[in-house]
Each structure stands twice: as structure tokens, then as C-alpha cells.
Chains A and B, each alone.
Chain A
Amino acid sequence: MTVSPRLAVGLTLGIGVAVLAFLPYWSDVFGGRFPTSFELRIVLRVMIMAIVVIGLNVLVGGAGLVSLGHAALYGFGAHVAALLALRAGFGFAPSLVAAVLGTALVGAALAYPSVRVRGVYLAVITIAFGLVFVNVLREWVSFTGGASGLAGIPRGEVFGQRLSPGRRDGFSLYYVVLFFLALAFVLQYTLMYSRFGRAMRATAMSENAAQALGVSVIRMRTLAFVLSASFAGLAGALFTNLALFVNYETFQFTQSIQFLLMTILGGAGTLLGPLVGTIVVFFATVLLQAFEEWQTFAFGALLALVLFVMPKGIVGSFEAWLASRGAKQRMRETAEWPHWTPELNAVIQPLENPPAAALELRGLTLRFGGLVAVNKVDLAAKPGAVHALIGPNGAGKSSVINMISGFYTPSEGSIRLLGQDVTARDSAAMAAAGVARTFQNTELFGAMTVLENVMVGFHTRYEANLIQTLIRAPRARWEEARVRREAEALLDFVGLRDYADERAGALPFGHQRRLEIARALALQPRLLLLDEPAAGLTHGEIEDLVRLIRVLAEKGLTILLVEHHVDMIMAVSDHVTVLDYGVVIASGPPSEIQDDPRVIEAYFGHAAPGAAARKAAE
């Protein structure tokens, strides 16, 4: 049994908001002293922290990145709001907006330089930022008050209502914070379950596959961090309005670790995890205070314990338990493929005015140091043709594919796609230009569902922007529904419709190959690069694959195929180019290539008995 995320969000939101909204008036109905104003302030603190943790969850659970500086980002937002209110007389709303934007900007400045090579670097940079931030606050006394901090921050107002957590003001601040928590919670859902959320998760699972589908890893990671920082900035501004006093002590490294612990313990990547994690860790901290100087030690031990015992966190483990309990081992049916349906006409459209060559390589060369892997390769593939690239191991076939798909930068020569020069663009740009590919060792997004994998392939074709997506504007909803339909049609095409909600990593190998092709087609490519698609397939599957390739070619798609399977090449290709030691040694229709002595020599060497015998016979 799985609960639909939408239902989970709706229920939590409905019940949670109702309970929290009622809480201040609890004693009016049930009598007693609960909640005292002190207790109410604790609830407020927890709600504010939950906003930070929701943001961190987007980063950790979505993009698979770690930040150890979120306390500092939170503090940055708090200080921006405090300074603007104190020194510039800003009201609540403008100082809040400035805090969010300012923190987002800092997030961009930290993330962009550090995520380009490895995600791990971001963690290091964020620790550094946290230390520097506290250092500056402590030392720059004239600006930030140093240890005595910034006190006497005026209370803000919204629509003429003074913001305070007190009864006299109708608990106005409490309700403002509740509003923003609910908003953050909803935005987390609309983000994670959108093309942006899918793209972020994709980059966390396979950078190569994400890039090959036009998802820029750098942009997605930076976006995730900027959004995450914005949540922290928002929470910081709210904290300022609650405490009316800020200094560096609230925003130190230990607090960053606490935020991370909340995220992981709750369940990174789950929607409810941040709420559960924040509540549990907050009250655990209160208990841990009894340990005095051993408190930090207990924290570390708790984090280690969670990672060993419950790496998916409370909510994540609960979800896994629910799923395993309710999973009827339903047999899924693998359908015949290729299975062309009329809906696919919207996805795979022939070119209107095809140029003479869909793909043209001129003098393409790739050197690794002194080694020439690809040497002045010329190749032209006609639109709608199946062009095979063959050669012995190490001939440079995969290198050619990697250059065309932008993973390697050619040392010399040019690549033209539909008459347009696309030499040396990066892989995401190549994908956007219409080059799709599969990988020799399939690279699926293993933890995502089969359908989600295909939907990531549609990433470049969405038109709704981030804001429209987050507020679920009609256009975004409509587009999402269309993409879902088309993705399902593609699954139909490869016979995997029945597997749509299965985890991609759990598919048998042959099905993974099929899924990878469906996902590549989602890009609506003009050129499809298949890197040894038949490797590991059964004989029957290869026959199906041949039919699929022919169907695609008939629809006008150009296909460049790297393959070792000779029967398959003969059956499927219109043209064959043979590489040996990086050089083109033959090129022509398959029937000619089959008997070309240079090709036979390249494969079998001079003394190949077959070749010798054939020569003797001639």
C-alpha cells in the first residue's frame, strides 16, 4: 500500500493547520494553563526551524547535496531583517522579502563555484561560510554588535496589525509563522513533484544520464541550493521578529549539524520527514541538555546511530515498511515491443524539410595526451538512416559517440547537426540541440520509477517556468498532464506500460535497455545514438530491437549505432562505417562492408584462416 503524496500533503496540511491554529486557544476551550506564552514560543521556534529543515530537505533529499552551513544562512536572513528594521526602518514585509532575496543571492554565490566539479565540495564551502559568518558577526562589533548582538528590534506590522505572539495582539505573529510554514510545506511538495524536483533527483543519481537528457547538473544543483537558502532566509527573518534580538550564538556550526540531523532523522527526501525530524530532534535536545558538556557528544552519537540503524529516517523507514507490507507481488506483464500507437505521432515527429545530412563529422579528432583515440574521422548520416559504427575494441567508436553527445570535447574537427555547427558544446546543450543517447552500461535513475525516468527525458521540452511550476499555474498543470500521457505512450512503445510505477533499478536488464531507449526518445531527438544496445539482450529481444530501430528510422529519426553484433548490423543498418585505431578504414552499405578485406583484416588480423581460405577460393 502506498499513500499518494498529494493525499499525504493534503491530510497533513488540513489536520496540522487546524490543530496548530487552534492551539493558542486550547485553554479557552479545555481550561487549564496550557499553552503558556512560554510554551507557545517554543512551538513558534519549532515551526521556524521546520521551515529551515524543509529547505534543507530539498537540498539533501532532492539534489543529494549536503550543507553544513544552513545555520549561517538562517542567521544571514535574521541579520538582514534585523539590520533593515533597526537601521533603515523597514517594515515587516519588505525586510522579509529582502532577507529571502539576500540569502538566495548568498546561496548562489556559494553554490555556483563549488558544485561544478563535485557535489561534495559544496559541503566544504558551506562549513567555511558558516565559520566566516560567525567570525564576522563576532568581530565586526560596530555593525553587528559583536557578542551583545542587535537588540531592540522594533515589532513589525502587517495590515496595521502589530506582530507579536501575545494574546493581546491575537497571537498575530504565531499565525504569520504558521502561514509561512504551511506555505513552505506546500512549496516543498510542488517542487519535489515537478519537473524540477525530478531533474534534481536525477542529477543526484546519475550525472551523466541527467546531462544526456539536457538537464544541466550545475544549474540544477545551484537552483536546489538557492531555493534551500531562501527557505533558511525566510525562517531567519521570522526568527528576528520573534526574538527581537539576534547575535551569532544562535547560528553556529552545531546548529547546522542539528538541522542536518533533523533532516536525516526525519527522512531525507520525504515530504513529512522535515516536520517529524524537527519535532523529534528539538525535544531530544531539551532532554540532552541534562548531559551538560557531553551534549555535543550525544548529538554526534545520535547522528551516527541514525545513519547506522535508520538511514532512511523515521518517515522513510515507515514508508518502506508500508510499501513492503502492502505490496502484493503482482505479476507485471511485459508487452510486445515495438508497439506503435497514434499518440506517439506527437512525440516522434518527422522533420519537415530534412537537410541532406542529419549528422556530419569533418576531420573529427580526439587526443588523450599523446594518444590519438579518434583520427580525422569524416562521417555523414542521412536523415532517417540507420548508420552503424563498427570496429574492433578500442577503435574509438565510443569516443566518437561521446564527442557527438558532448561528453568529450573534440581536439579538432567539427560536428554539424542538421546543418548547424554544434562542435564542442557540452552534453546538456547537445541534448537540447536534439542529440539523445543510451549508454553502454545502462544509466538509469535507479531509485525513481520507470515513468519518472521517462518524464525526466521531457525536461527540456517544458515551457512553464519555475514560478508557474511552483504555484501549479494552469499552464504547468496542463503541461504536466500532457507529458505524463506522452511518457506513458513511450512506455507503451517499448512494452513497459505495466511497469510504470516500478522502481527502475528493480527492472531486469533487458527491460532497463528498453527503458533507456524510451527515455532517450522523450527528448524528441533528431539524432539517436545507441551505444551497444544489444549487449546483454537475448536473441528474441535483439530481433525486437531491430524492428524498433527500423520503425524509428521510418519515422524520420536518424540513428547512429555502435554495435558488435554482426547479424544485427547487417539486418538493421543502411550504412556502415568501420573504424580501426581511430581511423575510418571503410564506409559503405552493409553488403559491401561485409566482404571488404580491410575490415576482415582489422577484425581477424592478417592470418585469419577464414580470410585466407576465402582468398584462396577466389
Chain B
Amino acid sequence: MEANLQYVLSGLSIGGVYAMVALGFSMMWSVAKAANFTHGDVFMLGGVLTVSLMALGLPIWIAAILAILIAAAAGALIERFLVRPFNREANAIGWMLTTIAIGVMMESFGTATYGPLPQPLPSPLAVTPLRFGGAGVFPQELLLPVVAVLAMLGLRLFQTRTHFGRAIRAVAANRVAAGLMGIDADRVTMVVFAAAGGLGALAGFLIAPVIQASTTMGLVIGLKAFMIAIIAGITNAAGVVTMALAFGVVERLIEGYLSTSARDAFGFTLMILVLLAFPQGVFGRKEVSKV
């Protein structure tokens, strides 16, 4: 029982990371019908840049804010120069390749300069674990799912209550029509990519005290987050967050009851099976394409 509680708590924690990264994919996909394929590396920036900036003597909060701003700028630049010019036709695949290329460059640049080894990021919230019976968890870990859910709710409020948020929804629903209404769809898309980048980096900063910050932490988490977004139904933000939290718990259960090395094999197989049963995603609705 205690073991199960432990799995659920730490599962929610990693699920929170997936949720924030997957939410970024969902946001980007909604407006652009494309995404930064190596959003995982932007997530990595959040952890790695914070550690690097702290090494320069900056206090943690300044370092984290700077890291998030740099990641957001990276998101915007990636959209402007790597996605937009390569996403002009329907079914374009160029953006996929350009963002992968830049992701490979980011990761190897990081490895060459920051070093291949993970480095710790000290946090006051990751010192004494909270005890729930025999299960223990750092407050830092519990922060992640909370922030993820808040981010999702905040996004929803923003999209329903503000002018710019409604513009985002308009672009997501119909880019051309939004353009005809005077919305600068390109600018909206760029801002959304920046926001997604910032959110991803926030996740990277928040998880770094738990798993340590390394340049290779982005690839797998980014990939899982993208798959989670797909099997949840990529445009449904609430569905994506729910699925991400659930998947985190499932992963921990697989680790607990089978083995750590079985986790990814079983996890990915499970996702393919879910996609087989729900081609539009579990919470996704069939899209009616206007013919």
C-alpha cells in the first residue's frame, strides 16, 4: 500500500513534467499544425541554463528567470526561422527536419560545453522529504503537477478572457479566417511558440533539483510528452495534462512491479496500443475537415 502511494506520488511528479512539456506541444500544434520537434531540448535549457548561470554567480531566481526568458526567445526564433518558412504547404515535412536538426545541434552544443555529466541544482524544496506514512516525497516533486494544472487553467482563462487569448483560439480554429479578421496569425503563432518554450523551460528548472540537470534529459522526455499529447488528443489541453499525469503514474507502477529497464519498452508499447484503439486520441474529437 505504502509502495503504491510512493509510486503514485512520484508518478504525479514526473507526470507533471510530461504535462508541462506536452502542454507546450498542444499549444504549438493548435496554432501552427506543426511543432518544435525538439521541444525537449528547450525543456532541457531550463535546467541546464539555470545551473550554468548560477555557476556564473547569479542567485537561483535570477538564473531561472533568465533561463526561461532565453528558452522563450529560442521558441520564438525556432518558430520564425525553422518552422514558419518550412510549413507553407499542407502536409509539409520540412519543419520537422529543420527543428530536429537544430535540436541535435542544441544537445551536442550543450554536451560539448556544459559537459556530458548531470549537475545538481540545489533547491530548498528538495532537502527534507514530506512523509505520508512510509512514502516520502520532496515538496519540489509535488510542485510539478500543481504547476502543470495551474498552467493549464491559466492558459484556459487567458484564452477565454483576454483579447489576445481569443486571437489564439481564432488562429487555432481557422488561420485564414483569423487573418481576414485582422489578426496577425504569424505573430500569434510566434508568441505561442515562445510561451510554450518558456513553459517547457519552467518544467526543466523545476525538475532539475530532483533528477539533476543534464544535456541529454530533453530527448526522451520531449518525445514522451509529444506522444502523450498525441494519444490524449493533441488540441485538448485538459486531456493532455490528465493523460500526462496518468502516464507518469503508470510508468512508476511499471518500474515498481517490473523493472526500471522495462519502463520505456512497456510505456511506448502501451502508447502505441492506445493510439490503435483511439486514433484521434482518448480525449480528442474527430476533426471535420472542410472539403
Contact = CB atoms under 8 A, between A and B. Distances in A.
A116 B220 CA distance: 24
Nearest to A443: B291
Nearest to A440: B291
A208 B289 contact: yes
Contacts of A294: 108, 112
Interface in B77-112: 82, 86, 90-91, 93-94, 96-98, 100-105, 107-109, 111-112
A407 interface: yes
A317 interface: no
B1 interface: no
Nearest to A439: B291
B194 to A, nearest CB: 21
Nearest to A65: B93
Q: Name B's interface SS.
A: helix
A337 B51 CA distance: 72
A116 B97 CA distance: 21
Interface stretch (A131-139, A320-328, A386-394): A131-139
Contact of B279 (A64, A65, A113, A402): A113
A311 B262 CA distance: 40
Contacts of B108: 293-297, 300
Contacts of B272: 109-110, 113-114, 125, 128
A301 to B, nearest CB: 6
A472 B64 CA distance: 63
B100 A117 contact: no
A264 interface: yes
Contacts of B265: 132, 135-136
B223 A307 contact: no
A299 B109 CA distance: 12
Contact of A301 (B101, B230, B262): B101
Contacts of B138: none
A204 B93 CA distance: 10
B2 interface: no
Interface string B263-278: 0110011011101100
A135 B104 contact: no
B107 A125 contact: no
Contact of B104 (A65, A112, A206, A299): A299
Nearest to A68: B100
Contacts of A264: 97
Please indicate which of the listed interface residues B37, B102, B261, B272 has the most CB atoms of chain A within 10 Å of its own CB: B272
Interface string A299-330: 11101100110010000000000000000000
A123 interface: yes
Interface in A125-160: 125, 127-129, 131-132, 135-136, 139
A64 B96 CA distance: 12
Contacts of A68: 100
Nearest to A207: B91
Contacts of A303: 97, 100-101, 104
Given A128-B271, A300-B108, A311-B94, 12 more contacts: A112-B276, A117-B279, A120-B93, A121-B230, A129-B268, A264-B97, A293-B108, A293-B111, A300-B104, A303-B97, A439-B291, A440-B291
